[in-house]
Amino acid sequence: QIKDSATLTRDVLEQHFSDLKGTLKKLLDERLMSLLQEVDVIEQESIKPLDECQKLIEHGVSTADDLLREGESAVDGDVGQQNEKLCNFTKKALHIQLDSLPEVPSLVDVPCLSAQLDDCLLTILKNQIFRHGTVASRPPVQLEEFVEKPGGILVRWCKVDEDFIPQDYRLQYRKSSASHFEDVYVGSETEFMVLHIDPNVDYQFRVCARGDGRQEWSPWSVPQSGRTSLVPHEWTTGLEGYSLSSRRNIALRNDSQSCGVLYSKAPTYFCGQTLTFRQVLFVIETVGQPDRRDSLGVCVEQRNGDDSLQRDKAVCISTNGAVFVNGKEMTNQLPAVTSGSTVTFDMEVVQLGPCSNEGGNFKLRVTISSNNREVVFDWVLDQCCGSLYFGCSFSYPGWKVLVF
């Protein structure tokens, strides 16, 4: 691991600084070309009026020179020709303004190009480069625990660098047979339930963090493998009053007039696990109207013909927060179930007396939690029960329940 990570780190550093050098050279070349173009523009715009002034002066000098030669020729000719040439010379001289010159700018008004290059850029770059990049002997965050869940894995992590102040965490996973990791969580929590996990299949996980006030992510933790042997919770298909998602872990109470209890496909809730219901309103149809017979809970057996889990051999909570044990309402009550509510059922086996295949006293310590409140009670059964069904019933359409 040390040699592999050292080799990988060298490759990353060499590639990064090679990319930096190429980018810096490109940026410097672009800046140089931009400045050279500015010099060209200033030169062309500044020299144009001076060129025009020079042409006017040269034209005046040339005209005066021609006139001078013409005067010399008039003086040198015979008397007859002199009069004619002197007359022409005089007329031409009167029409030429030899004493006017174009306006020539003063020397201080003529541009004098120069380049200003601040040497402090090298100092700034030097300081930034010397502080750029760090090498750590271990990532600041490491994976801590994997907890098996039905069709999922609860992943927990922790920071191992006391000086590192995390702002966000980033969790990725992949099947062991896959080549690329994919993001599954970004946030400030130190645990996350990864769903849609195939049972008895190895998955690799890794986590990193972003320091407070920083944009870049820390190095990844050492990848670790996790798996679950628990099959996912699924609602049973075929009940007319409910529509299911493709994975059958979400149930929607539809507009059908048929009413009954929707059970799990199998008794997949084993005592000692946590069963979580998350109720969400159906956002397209009208909000589901609550009814006193509504229920979310667990039971020993499926029983056709019931319209609620408020019966014997079942514990449940109604949407108004009432708790029922074997059909009897408890005095303790939880908050009403609303949009976004999470209801959890925890059960611990507490056996009373002998338990055999013929039956016997059997007690479960039940904890039902909802909206940061909970009730705890003992549920006494007349038979051993290592696994339970879960179920729900709603009288009116619009209720949507996810179970995991």
pLDDT digits (tens, 9 = 90+) for 144-186: 999 988 888 999 999 888 888 899 999 999 998 888 999 999 9
Q: How would residue 358 be classed by pLDDT, with cut points 50, 70 and 90? A: very low
CA distances from 345 to 101, 208, 323 (A): 103, 32, 12
Sheet (strand 141-149) strand order? 141-149, 152-159, 191-195
Nearest alpha carbon to residue 239 among 228, 230, 252: 252
Lowest-confidence segment of 208-212, 280-284, 334-338 by average pLDDT: 280-284
Helices (H) and strands (E) in the chain, counts: 3, 21
The answer to whether 206 touches 143, Cβ cutoff 8 Å, is yes
pLDDT digits (tens, 9 = 90+) for 316-332: 999 999 999 999 999 99
Longest dimension (CA), the chain: 160
- Angle between helices 2-76 and 79-95 in degrees, nearest 10: 140
- Max avg pLDDT among 258-267, 281-290, 379-388: 258-267
Residue 118: phi and psi, rounded to 5, are: -80, 115
Nearest alpha carbon to residue 186 among 202, 207, 201, 155: 207
Lowest-confidence segment of 47-56, 100-109, 291-300, 359-368 by average pLDDT: 100-109
pLDDT of residue 275: 60
Q: Which helix (H) or strand (E) holds 39?
A: helix 2-76
Q: Exposed (0-12), middle (13-18) or buried (19+): which is 232, by Cβ within 10 Å?
A: buried
pLDDT digits (tens, 9 = 90+) for 87-124: 776 777 666 665 666 666 666 667 778 888 888 888 88
- Strand pairing report for 182-187 and 166-175: antiparallel
Q: How would residue 80 be classed by pLDDT, with cut points 50, 70 and 90? A: low
Q: How would residue 56 be classed by pLDDT, with cut points 50, 70 and 90? A: confident
